[in-house]
Amino acid sequence: MAAQLIYVVNGPNLNLLGRREPHIYGTQTLADIESATAASADNFGFSIDFRQSNSEGALIDWVQEADAKASGLIINPGAYTHTSIALLDALQAASIAKIELHLSNIHAREAFRRRSVTATAADGVIMGFGAAGYRLALEALKSLLEHRAATQN
């Protein structure tokens, strides 16, 4: 059986991981996280398409593309978490399994970061576990996809 494709979409400033506020986001780079996520994905029977953009429009395009091509989506919207109704609309339109992911616990951060406008469109949210959150998101997607398959039969 072919591996199920999972899109992993990362938003603005995540390209700066490893040097941007390491006391909050950790010391791993996005490339480090991509490598670890790809290895974990293989263990779950997934293949990943791992992407990052600072552009809201690109993130929206990728959510729409994921809905057409993938079984699931892990999205770390970055700062768009708190502001992007357009990204929320794209996520709501997507019928695939979706996990919102944050490296830090947004509820333990500044007041303006505590609200996620995009989370309502996700099947679940994982936050506060640093880079390990990507593996946890894959595990959650595996469970969601198995549950969906079982309820369709």
Is 102 marked active-site?
yes
**What is the torsional sign of CA 39, 69, 120, 51?**
positive
The rounded distance, in Å, linking the Cα atoms of 134 and 145 is: 16
Catalytic residue among 7, 25, 80, 134: 25
DSSP 3: P
Contacts of 17 (CB under 8 A, 6+ apart): 25, 26, 28, 29, 30, 33, 103
Please give the biggest Cα pair distance in the chain: 47
Catalytic residue among 7, 80, 102, 134: 102
The rounded distance, in Å, linking the Cα atoms of 50 and 143 is: 20
What are the CA-CA distances from residue 103 to residues 37, 65, 121, 127, 150 (Å)?
A: 14, 24, 19, 6, 31
By annotation, the residues acting in catalysis are: 25, 102
